[in-house]
Structure 1
Amino acid sequence: MHRTVQISLPSSDSQGLCDELAALETVVGVSLSKGISIKPPGDVVTVDVLNKGADDVLKLVRAASEKHEISVTTSEAASFIDPKNSEKIEDDVDEAIWEEMETGLRHQGRITWNFVFLMALGGAICAVGLVSEPAPQAIAFAAAGIIAPGFEPLAKIPLGAVLGRWNVSRNGAVSSLVGYAVLIASAALVMFILLKTGSVEPVELVGNPEIEHIAHPTLKELIVSGAAAFAGILIIAA
């Protein structure tokens, strides 16, 4: 999707930034509203830019932020109608920008009660799946993968490294450790209850072929796992 970037900045720097933004080929429109920003005080610059040029816009904004107090918001524009630039608009790409990915993962990968409970529920479902027949087992594993939000914290680790935001990587690592510790503890507790109540026999767990696949993955399992992980990254970046 195309992007609209709104920048609040001091009046002394707004015109210069507008001139730099207007010079970018991927910028479709620039507007300047004088004196309407209350916090931070100053002007508001609104930029309509093609998605592939959003990073160039944010680079200019980042350079301006080193000199002045600036507030920036980004949003997706449903469509741009500009007959003179129709070819450029049609050739635009649909990718998330780094800042939006970081913001999305920041909210999704935090340690909250919802996060903890969902990881625990995912672990409980996995435990039942390990001692189920093949069809219910596949359903249980798929359901646990959807319910347990374990991917987003892991994705924050490389994203923080790419952006040089080590606090993002650290938060992702902590969330992953806490989340998967809860998942494992929940799965162990459910399995303990199933065994103690006689609902399952130990042989059902030990003799389950899926246990062997998890403990000693073959190339087939590694390909499926790697492809799924890569697909998750592409979904976040889309």
Structure 2
Amino acid sequence: MHLRLIVPGDRTELVVGTLTGDERVTNVVVLPGAAKRPAGDVVYCDVTREATSDILGWLKAHGLYDEGSVALTTVDASPSRNAWRTEEAAPGAPDDAVVWDAVVGQGYAEARGSWSFYAFLTLATMIAAIAVITDSAILVVGAMVVGPEFGVVAALALGIALGRKSLASQSLVLLIKGFLMAILLTTLAALLGRAAGWIDVGDVTAARPLTGFIWRPDHWSVVVAVLAGCAGVLSQTAGRSNALVGVFISVTTVPAAGDLALSIAVGAPAQIGGSAAQLGINLAGMTCAGVATLLLQRALWRALTQKHQRESP
């Protein structure tokens, strides 16, 4: 991980001395007086992923978060021998280390909400409703991928796991508002389609061999939601966002919302309860699994670092 620091002049010697004295830090560069806002000295360094949270915690304790500046980016490759020796000084594997400040920052960014979040969720729900009408598995997958809800679910799990009430409450409110708006707008669109004669109750209640599972949750719905929640949180904390695509197309949150909206519009009460249950199971299962995964990661990493400290000369 690459750190760009702006350090108040009276703390530069302490910060640079601490960084250069840590075997897990390398490529330390100092530019005296280069920073103008905030004013101070610019310090660059590369830190092993495993040590990043430790270094950031130390910097925060010495006031750099309040009186200076800290920026964090990922180093895609560092093939030098010096970087390899630095990595060997850190315990564990890089993928097992969680940069908590980065994860928390991402969580707050997801929970903030935006017009694009509501737009993508609504569009995904409408695509899911069309998938129900046409009994199209391809459209179901498309709706899953378009849906942006997992980032907010992960933020909710993070807020609960770390005891950050503001993050948890923001995420929960955003999820509720987002799905309510998406379901409402999709219901209105379906009512227009019904009035135009494009759809009727038979499109929802007829046999749907490819999409009928959406409104019929079972014990496998719980299992998939839990596994997807674990995989999704791990992909975010380990910096492997490519795995999120698999999470998106594993859970049926958005398809359930689309089926629910369509069932309300055409008057299919038998499917309303099942769709709502499927939606609730997926959201609750992913959240609980995310909380458990985060707590387990913290415990395992704490045990690993303590073991490393005991074994270090």
Band of TM-score, shorter chain:
0.7 to 0.9
Q: 1:24 aligns with which of 22, 25, 28?
A: 22
Contact kept in structure 1, 2:50 and 2:94, CA below 8 Å: yes
- Give the equivalent residue in structure 2 for 1:158: 157
Unmatched 5+ stretches in structure 1: none
- What TM-score does the superposition give when structure 1 sets the normalisation length? 0.83
State how far apart, in whole Å, the 2-side matches of 1:49 and 1:29 are. Answer: 9
Q: 1:205–1:211: 8 Å Cα contact kept in structure 2?
A: no
Q: Which moved more, 1:57-66 or 1:156-165?
A: 156-165
- Alpha-carbon distance change, 165 to 43 in structure 1, aligned in 2, over 3 angstroms: farther
Residues 155-194 of structure 1 mapped to structure 2, 5 A cutoff: 155-194=154-193
C-alpha contact (below 8 Å) 1:8/1:70 kept by paired residues: yes
Aligned residue in 2 for 1:74? 72
Aligned to 2:102: 100
Residue-by-residue CA offset, 1:37-88 (whole Å, 9 max, x unaligned): 2222222222211111111110111111189612100112233344255255
* 8 Å contact kept, 1:130–1:208: no
Which runs of 5 or more residues in structure 2 are unaligned? 240-313
In the TM superposition, 1:108-119 aligns within 5 A as: 108-119=110-121
TM normalised by structure 2 equals 0.65
Q: CA deviation at 1:145?
A: 1.5
Alignment pair present for 1:42 and 2:40: yes
Aligned Cα root-mean-square deviation (Å): 2.7
The 2-side partners of 1:225 and 1:73 are apart by: 34
Is 1:123–1:186's contact at 8 Å kept on the other side of the alignment?
A: no
Q: In structure 2, do the counterparts of structure 1 residues 8 and 164 end up closer, same or farther at CA, with 3 Å as the change threshold?
A: farther
Matches within 5 A, 1:81-96: 81-84=79-82, 86-89=84-87, 92-94=93-95
Aligned counterparts of 1:105 and 1:67: Cα–Cα separation in 2: 18
Partner of 2:261: none
**CA shift for structure 1 position 126:** 1.5
Local SS of the residue matching 1:167: helix
- Is 1:6–1:47's contact at 8 Å kept on the other side of the alignment? yes
Question: 3-state DSSP class of the match of 1:72?
Answer: strand
Amino acid at match of 1:14: T
Work out whether residues 50 and 98 of structure 2, in 8 Å CA contact, stay in contact via their aligned partners in 1.
no
SS at structure 1 position matched to 2:30: strand
Query: What letter corresponds to residue 124 of structure 1 in structure 2?
Result: M
SS at match of 2:22: coil
1:226 alignment partner in structure 2: 226
Q: Go from structure 1 to structure 2 and tell me whether the alpha carbon gap of 1:9 and 1:51 turns closer, same or farther (over 3 Å shift).
A: same
Deviations 1:181-217 (A, max 9, x none): 1121123223323333332331331244578644442
Matched-pair contact (CA < 8 Å) for 1:161–1:169: yes
Q: Which has the higher strand share?
A: 1
Question: What is the CA deviation profile of residues 97-137 of structure 1, one whole-angstrom value per residue up to 9, with x for unaligned ones?
Answer: 2222333344444332222221211121111222222xx1x
**Count of residue correspondences:** 233
> Which one-letter code corresponds to 1:93 in the other structure?
P
